[in-house]
């Protein structure tokens, strides 16, 4: 199904993470950067950034300092990924239809409660009691 602009914005801001592998750490890091030490020959640190603007700022800082790095955008492991990043459904359309279903259910429940307070309802109950006896 086609994703809406809002779906793509949610996926970009909540699901995707920017993984930046570096040989050495830069002098200063922007806030929101997680550092993981790697046991590989090429790169020694993995910097994980969830915000695109912070990642661009960090990449520009690495370029200015002449650091060797590689970047990758990966899907983060969050509990809400299955809801937001469902490949078969649009999150916006799903939420819209759930809202419609909830509104219809509330309307039906309120109408039933209102009907149960009428005289017709009590007459129907009395007639069914007499028929069952």
In this predicted structure, what is the pLDDT of residue 76?
A: 87
DSSP 14-44: IIEEEEEEESS--SS--TTEEEEE---SS-S
Residue 4, CB-side half-sphere exposure with 13 Å CA sphere:
12
Residue 16 backbone dihedrals phi, psi, to 5 degrees: -75, 145
107 phi/psi in degrees, rounded to 5: -60, -45
Task: Determine the pLDDT at residue 30.
Answer: 85
Q: Domain 15-84 classified CATH 3.30.1220?
A: no
pTM for the model: 0.70
- Reported as a single tens digit per residue, the pLDDT across 87-128 is 888 999 999 999 999 999 999 999 999 999 888 899 999 999
Q: What is the pLDDT of residue 1?
A: 65
Whether residue 77 is predicted with pLDDT greater than 90 in this model: the reply is no
19-23, 29-33, 58-62: which range is least confident on average?
29-33
**Each residue's pLDDT tens digit, 35-64:** 999 888 889 999 999 988 999 999 999 999
Report whether 34 contacts 25 (CB < 8 A). no
């Amino acid at each position: 199904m086609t994703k809406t602009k809002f779906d793509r914005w949610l996926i970009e801001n909540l699901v995707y993470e920017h993984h930046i592998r570096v040989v050495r750490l830069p002098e200063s890091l922007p806030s929101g950067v997680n550092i993981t030490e790697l046991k590989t020959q090429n790169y020694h640190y993995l910097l994980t950034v969830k915000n695109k603007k912070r990642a661009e700022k960090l990449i520009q800082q690495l370029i200015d300092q002449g650091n060797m790095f590689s970047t990758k955008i990966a899907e983060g492991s969050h509990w809400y990924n299955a809801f937001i990043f469902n490949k078969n459904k649009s999150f916006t359309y799903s939420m819209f239809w759930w809202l419609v279903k909830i509104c219809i259910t509330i309307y039906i429940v309120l109408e039933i409660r209102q009907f149960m307070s009428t005289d017709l309802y009590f007459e129907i109950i009395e007639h069914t009691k007499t028929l069952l006896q």
